[in-house]
Structure formats: C-alpha cells, structure tokens
Amino acid sequence: MGLPLQLNEWVGQQLGRAGVVLAPLSGDAGFRRYCRVENSSPPVMAVYAPRATENSELYLAVSGLLAGGGVRVPQVLATDLDQGFLLVEDCGDQLLLPALNSSSADGLYGQALDMLLQMQMINVPEGVIAYDDAQRLWDEMALFPSWFVQNLLGLPFGRNEQTLLDNFFDWLVASALEQPQALVHRDYHARNLMLHAHSDAPNELVTIDFQDALIGPITYDLVSLLRDCYIRWQPERVTKWALAYREKLVKKGKPAGNNEQQFLQWFDLIGLQRHIKVLGIFARLWLRDGKAGYLNDLPLVLHYTMEIAARYPQAADFVEWMQVRVLPACQRQQWWKEIKQ
C-alpha cells in the first residue's frame, strides 16, 4: 500500500515549511505506514493510518490515558483523522528486543515491569475502552483451528477435534474471567517497547502499538512480555520475574490472587490463550497478507504452547491431539525448527 500524495503537503503545513521529504519505514503486522520526516528538529514522524483498517480515534484515546497515567508514549503533535494522518514524536529505531541479553535482561525487564505497573494503576473512565469478554477470547482462539490447523497445515478438522478444543477453550476462558481486571495493552512485548533515542534520561522506555488496549486479565501483558513470541528465557527466570511483579501488585494494594500458585496458574493459562491465538494470527499474516516473516516465529510459540499445556492435567487431551496430529504436520513445514530446552 502506497502513501497518499497529500501526506507530504499536510506534514509541511504542520511544520510550516515546504519540500518536506518523508522516508518510509518498514511496516508492522497492521496497515499503518510510518515515515521519518527528514531534517526535522525536533525529530518527528508522519503516520498514515487509513480509516478503512485503523481506528485512530481509539489510538488517541488510549494514548491520552497512558500519558495521563505517567506511561511514556510517543507524543501526538497533530492529526487529520479524516485523511488518516498523524504527526508524532520520533523516538528513534532502538527496540527493546535487540538490547536484551542475559546481562541486561534484569535491568531492562525491571523497567518494563515498572511501566506495566504504572499502566495497570490507571483508572479507566467507563465507556472509553471495551472489556475483554468471553466471546472475544473465544473468537481469538478460533483463529487457531481455522488459519493454523486447516489453512496453513492443511489438516482435516472434524467434530471430535472441535469438541476437544471447545472443552479446552472453555477452561482457558473461565480462568481468564476469574482474574482481576486492569488496563491491558494487549501486545506488550519487546518489539513494542523502545529505548528513546533522543531522551536525556538513559534507557528511557517508550511503549508503542497500544491501540488494541482493553480492560482485561491482570496477567495478560505480563505473560506477553515474559513469554515473548520473539525471545525466550529459561522458565526459572520467567517465574522469578512474574512473582516479583506480583509483589509489586500486592504492595500497591492490587488484587493478585490468593497465593503465588494461583497467580502463576493465571499467568500460565492466559499465556496459553494468547499463544493459541498468535498461532492463528501468524498463519493468517502469511496466508492472507503475504507477511512471511512471522512463520519463523511459529516454532517458539508452539514450544510455549506445548511446554505450558503439559503442566496441567486438564489439557491432557489437547496435548495428546497436538502430539499425534498437529506437531507431525508442523515438522514437515519449511519453517519448522526444534527449540532447545
């Protein structure tokens, strides 16, 4: 999708100068297009978010909520929602993901968890953001049998398989709805966190791509960050970080389960819900949208799914079906690779 010619003119009007040069950046999983405005001071970016596919009103509402609650987001400088144009602060190119390594992880994740806590302390006015209800959670997981199992792997999917997944999904949804609710980014991971390139503060974190925020389960963003689809940490380290975050919630007086075991089960099961959804989304991004890069991330998401499901006897039928039917078909795909324990 190209950029409308009017975008250059509009950006020039906002900056008060002619001859603006826009340098397009690589796209994400959505349909927004980002351009760096060359030779701008302070640095700014132009965004084209077509109304047909992008809800910029919701983006602005969530941006305002987050900024008002002390969460660092790119500042919005100008908008023309009819044309789908935004002018925003340019925070640079440094995503959190490549900055993470065994030595830096504790410090950087500590910052990310502090930001998450700040987000979850925000009181959201009624009616501003939707709730993550049972139907939404179900619809997300339904992408897995349709796009991943049937369309990507080409496997038949009959009534018995549907009944098995119905029971498994019901269990996951019940766990999600049992959790305390908070403002949830819904895609809080190391590719949607940036280290601000132009900040006076060292390693200042900025969160992006938050326009799908909802009121939802309190561990959703936590597992999105710590069982990230693009980077893996040892399970013991993940548990340590998760329980450290629970302690932060408790100190702030936020509900965090009756004990650590309950919190970790919530964490595990909403992670299963998310990763099952992601398997369907990544398959759809390739099959429908031609975005092949996400295929390379499927093995890690499958690894998380099997690793966590195997911990729970309620998931035994799902695990057996995956081992007998689904994983052998995955192993025949060009994108398949083993994830070392």
Same domain? For 231 and 140 the reply is yes
Cβ neighbours of residue 186 closer than 8 Å, sequence gap 6 or more: 210, 212, 213, 214, 216, 220, 221, 224
Distance between CA atoms of 315 and 248, rounded to whole angstroms? 30
Tracing tokens 């549907």 back to the chain, one arrives at 162
pLDDT at 198: 82
Same domain? For 249 and 293 the reply is yes
Distance between CA atoms of 144 and 316, rounded to whole angstroms? 18
Calculate helix-pair angle for 260-287, 298-309, nearest 10 degrees. Answer: 150
203: in domain: yes
pLDDT at 29: 53
Same domain? For 160 and 50 the reply is no
7: in domain: no
Domain extent at residue 115: 96-330
Distance between CA atoms of 336 and 341, rounded to whole angstroms? 16
Same domain? For 210 and 258 the reply is yes
The yes-or-no verdict on residue 2 having pLDDT over 80 is: no
pTM: 0.94
Same domain? For 80 and 119 the reply is no
Mean pLDDT of 93-101: 96
- Whole-number percent of the chain with pLDDT over 70: 98
Q: What one-character-per-residue DSSP string does 70-105 give?
A: T---PPEEEEETTTTEEEEE---S-BHHHH--TTTH
Q: Which pLDDT band, with edges at 50, 70 and 90, does 200 fall under? A: confident
10: in domain: no
Which residue did the predictor score with more confidence, 341 or 18? 18
pLDDT in tens, 314-331: 999 999 999 999 999 999
Same domain? For 172 and 316 the reply is yes
The backbone region for 209, taken as left when phi is positive above 0, alpha when psi lies in -120 to 50, beta otherwise, is left
Same domain? For 211 and 143 the reply is yes
Indicate which CATH number applies to the domain containing 163. Answer: 3.90.1200.10
Same domain? For 160 and 264 the reply is yes
- Give the number of domains in the chain: 2
2: in domain: no
